[in-house]
């Protein structure tokens, strides 16, 4: 099946990046969110990011203009139902995702493929609540989407081969690299990454090192481009906690227990860059550690 039209649900950090790369690759994109302000902000951010790519010589002005022309705000969720491909990129909450798919169900075209950008939730379970588990997959992009080359493709137990091949072809057209992951909690990247971040938070919690020393140690000692606490702030501490809870609940192993300090930061509303405070305070010109 040739994908031409794409509906993206969720105009946040992931959704706007997904819309960006699809439009730049020639797909017509309808961008939806429950907030019209969020959609407007997302389109403005996409425009700025495309301008930055033009300025760096990555794309031409013509490519930029054509990509912007392919993105349409769409506040009516039902109108996305006729898209060839729908990518759900809402918050990492299973109930929210199930409600979105339930709302879409009466409006879907017979051929529409449903996907979720979930970073940890069971694809088999999400698919089972829809009318098309054979045409449902996990389609997990990395953040920031325009920069990161990997896309995890996760088949549920009922996903058919045609759906998998169609999405693998889409990843190729986007100029990205696909990695197949089995449908186990957090898949590949976050199964490895999040426990490392959680352990870094435990290292801070237990007083082994400060925010600065932990991040410096991993950047210089393990050649990581960002320290684990800096990365947690970039991802969002609420997202980190949600993934650790999925790992802990799904695998029933105490090694995945979320650090109590991570829980406290989320309870405080200090979620990282998106709230201007997390393990660093971003309200000044230079980020300052909060511990």
* Catalytic (active-site) positions: 119, 140, 152, 190
Q: Is 15 annotated as a binding residue?
A: yes
The answer to the question of whether 51 is labelled as a binding residue is: no
- Whether 11 has a binding-site annotation, put simply, is yes
Q: Would the annotation count 138 as a binding residue?
A: no
Whether 14 has a binding-site annotation, put simply, is yes
Known binding residue 274? Answer is yes
Pairing of strands 71-73, 136-141: unpaired
The encoded tokens of residue 80 equal 């996305």
Q: Is 12 annotated as a binding residue?
A: yes
Confirm or deny that 175 is annotated as ligand binding: no
Question: Which residues are documented as binding site?
Answer: 10-15, 33, 92, 97, 119, 143, 274
Question: Which residues are documented as binding site for NAD(+)?
Answer: 10-15, 33, 92, 97, 119, 143, 274
């Amino acid at each position: 099946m040739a994908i031409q039209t794409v509906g993206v649900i969720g105009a946040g950090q992931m959704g706007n990046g997904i819309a960006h790369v699809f439009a730049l690759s020639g797909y017509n994109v309808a961008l939806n969110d429950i907030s019209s302000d969020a959609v407007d902000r997302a389109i403005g951010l996409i425009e700025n990011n495309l301008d930055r790519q033009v300025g760096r010589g990555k794309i031409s002005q013509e490519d930029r203009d054509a990509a912007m022309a392919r993105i349409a705000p769409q506040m009516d969720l039902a109108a996305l139902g006729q898209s060839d491909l729908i990518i759900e990129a809402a918050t990492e909450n299973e109930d929210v995702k199930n409600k979105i798919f339930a709302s879409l169900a009466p409006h879907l075209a017979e051929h529409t493929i449903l996907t979720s950008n979930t970073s940890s939730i069971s694809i088999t379970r999400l698919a089972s609540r829809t009318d098309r588990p054979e045409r449902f997959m996990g389609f997990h992009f990395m953040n920031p989407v325009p920069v990161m080359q990997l896309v995890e493709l996760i088949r549920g137990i009922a996903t058919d081969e045609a759906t998998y091949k169609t999405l693998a072809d889409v990843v190729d057209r986007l100029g990205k690299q696909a990695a197949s992951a089995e449908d186990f909690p957090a898949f590949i990247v976050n199964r490895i990454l999040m426990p490392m971040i959680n352990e870094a938070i435990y290292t801070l919690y237990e007083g082994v090192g400060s925010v600065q020393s932990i991040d410096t140690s991993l950047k210089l000692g393990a050649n990581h481009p960002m320290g684990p606490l800096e990365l947690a702030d970039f991802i969002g501490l609420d997202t980190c906690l949600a993934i650790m809870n999925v790992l802990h609940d799904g695998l029933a192993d105490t090694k995945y227990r979320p650090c109590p300090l991570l829980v406290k930061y989320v309870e405080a509303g200090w979620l990282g860059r998106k709230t201007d405070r997390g393990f660093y305070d971003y309200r000044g010109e230079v980020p300052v550690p909060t511990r």
